[in-house]
Amino acid sequence: MSLPAPEEFLRIARGWADLGWVRALDVALAEQLHTLAPAPCSSCLLASVLVSHQAGQGHLLLNLTDTQRRPRAVIAVDPDTDRPDWPTPEALIDALVEPWASQLTAWAAVTDGAGSTPLVLIDDALYLRRYYRHETAVAEAVAHRLAEAPRLSADAVRPIADRLFPPADHPAEAAANATQKMACALAARSQFAVITGGPGTGKTNTVIRLLGLLQASALDAGHPTLRIRLAAPTGKAAARLDEAIGGQIDQLRTLDLPGGEALHQAIPREVTTLHRLLGARPGTRHFRHHAGHPLPLDMVVVDEASMVDIEMMTALLDALPAHARLVLLGDRDQLASVEAGAVLGRLCAQAEGGHYQAETAQWLQAATGEAVDSSLRDDTGRPLDQAIAMLRHSFRFDAGGGIGQLARAINTGDAQTALNILKAQDHDDLDYRGLHGADDPTVARLITSRADYPMRPAADAERAEWDAWATAILETAGQFQMLTPLRRGPFGADALNQQIEQALARTGQLGSAGPPGRWYAGRPVMVTGNDYGLKLMNGDIGITLRVPAPFGDPEQGEDLRVAFRSEGRVRWVLPSRLQHVETVYAMTVHKSQGSEFAHTALIVPDTAPPVLTRELIYTAVTRARERFTLLCASDRVLTQAIQRQVTRQSQLFS
């Protein structure tokens, strides 16, 4: 077939949007571009629809050659929904005859980056200008920091590093300590660094010791201590790090570091979200801090960096003063950010192999007394590789434990081994259960049999007692979490939450099932949008409780309040003030990122949606600290998911 005329193509594209193959937004872009700069041919409009669609899927660009070679990899459609007068995107891509890049180059809406055209074409990669600008800005900012001379000499690092990581008796612990020690030193050496590793590999321990090293070095040299902030992408991730760092900081007191009490006071104990750190302006994509008004800091540490998208990373680097350090922590194998750009994944693409140059290896040995393994040496390694440290030993998952073995099998794409581990029932920390449809009572049974909440205070109790009670309830509720890959459909979070509410009502744990979204005591909710007035951020989790109104005055009766743990204290909020929340007995795996639960259960549906990938399964498994349950409606779908790996289209750090 041949390509239709531009006006006819736009009619076809609107049909694609009606069928859900692309977004209405993707078609609107093509229509607007054709109005502002009439396209010379339909292939240009097709490219604009596809590059917008790719952005919606988390990609930064559209690779023209790959798209022509494998069109279904860009938009896979069900042929049963095709209509005779609406050719599929695949059919139109197959109809391209002339070189696609040449046709785009002739269009006024496209340049090679010069000017302000909406689209940018670099060789074979087509970008929306916004993402081209972000990708370029991040690459340049990181390269600038990597080009700076080492901040600390090996001689200055060695005595402090030896105190921070004292010798261990057990060989496995000694090996893990050596890896953390080298990661700590490597991060201290550079103005930009990444520490990556799976759950329990000691990323938090390493970074707290890094802060101790830097502050001790400053105090030992007679310099002021560094102004440091700890941040995370979501409120959940920030709260989790906030809980984890207290004990790690206290351990530094036992290590006889230079600076004494001044050092401990200089290490931050509060974790904020990136939005709060940068000063997000409500109703806009802008922040109070930027290049013209930089953060008054010397260093920023970002945990759960896999969740940071390209736009947020651009904003963070833009707001950092030229002298400031940036350290990113995260698991490169987790799900990438929901928005476009897998920044941490691109940074850590070569982390497994190390690729340390001779100079780096020599510096590390002098700074730590530990030799870099020959398998990690590469004299052609990039400057970026010299600032990436990978932690490889997990303290959370025992080498023989089920969760650790399962996570490794999933990470390597070995679906058969993963199934064997699950079905063998040989591990106390794993449970496999088949699901017979979305309404299988097994799902609700896991929720309704959860641990009892702590006893309620007396009606006339002081506010502090109610705060302690709410804190205990939030901790109890956070011990177990049901996860699903989907938001909609019979196996989606919306349907599961309704099913669970109905089951709780039948067991008498709720007054009645009621309509979705109604408020009742015990309802767990997640904030789905930043609310600066209430100081609640996207991802914050609260639980609805019945309490005296006002506290301590039983004469006034009782009322419902939602308790959140925010900035180190309990925040009580009237339900009527919460405009953007959803029930979270079950939540999507994407929303669970940055969280950790004692027991996690994942539902695998009976069909394989595109979102169900190796990274998603791995992320769900590694949210569990002590026990993981798989509720599987189809072994075939699970196998397909483990074998399907996400590859975000990007040229960042390539």
How long a stretch of residues is the chain? 654
Q: What is the dihedral of CA 374, 375, 378, 381, to 10 degrees?
A: -130
Which one-letter DSSP state was computed for residue 572?
Answer: E
Phi–psi pair at 482, nearest 5 degrees = -85, 130
35 belongs to an annotated ligand binding site = no
Contact 445, 431 (CB under 8 A): no
Query: Which of helix, strand or coil describes residue 165?
Result: coil
Structure tokens at 192: 């930009």
404 belongs to an annotated ligand binding site = no
Q: What separation in angstroms does the CA of 411 have from each of 197, 533, 641, 645?
A: 13, 41, 11, 9
How many other β-carbons are positioned within 10 Å of the β-carbon of residue 461?
Answer: 17
Beta strands in 491-580 (DSSP E): 524-527, 541-548, 558-566, 569-573
Phi–psi pair at 168, nearest 5 degrees = -110, 150
Structure tokens at 624: 């569990």
Structure-token match 């860009």, residue found = 74
539 belongs to an annotated ligand binding site = no
SS3 track for 308-371: CCHHHHHHHHHHCCCCCEEEEEECCCCCCCCCCCCHHHHHCCCHHHCCECHHHHHHHHHHHCCC
User: Nearest Cα to 551, choosing from 436, 478, 470, 466?
Assistant: 466
198 belongs to an annotated ligand binding site = yes
| Strand arrangement, sheet containing 541-548 | 569-573, 558-566, 541-548, 524-527, 581-583
Q: Which residues contact 475 (CB under 8 A, 6 or more apart)?
A: none
508 belongs to an annotated ligand binding site = no
Contact 629, 597 (CB under 8 A): no
119's enclosing H/E stretch is strand 119-122
Structure tokens at 42: 């339909």
197 belongs to an annotated ligand binding site = yes
Contact 523, 583 (CB under 8 A): yes
Taking phi first (over 0 means left), then psi (-120 to 50 degrees means alpha), and beta for anything else, what does residue 111 get? beta
Alpha carbons within 13 A on the beta-carbon side of 72: 5
Q: CA–CA separation, 68 vs 99, rounded Å?
A: 10
441 belongs to an annotated ligand binding site = no
Q: CA–CA separation, 57 vs 556, rounded Å?
A: 52
Q: CA–CA separation, 114 vs 96, rounded Å?
A: 27
Cis peptide, bond prior to residue 38, ω within 30 of zero: no
201 belongs to an annotated ligand binding site = yes
Q: CA–CA separation, 326 vs 145, rounded Å?
A: 9
Q: What is the distance, to the nearest Å, from the Cα of residue 273 to the centroid of all Cα atoms in its chain?
A: 13
> Binding-site residues for ATP, please?
197-204
> Binding-site residues, please?
197-204
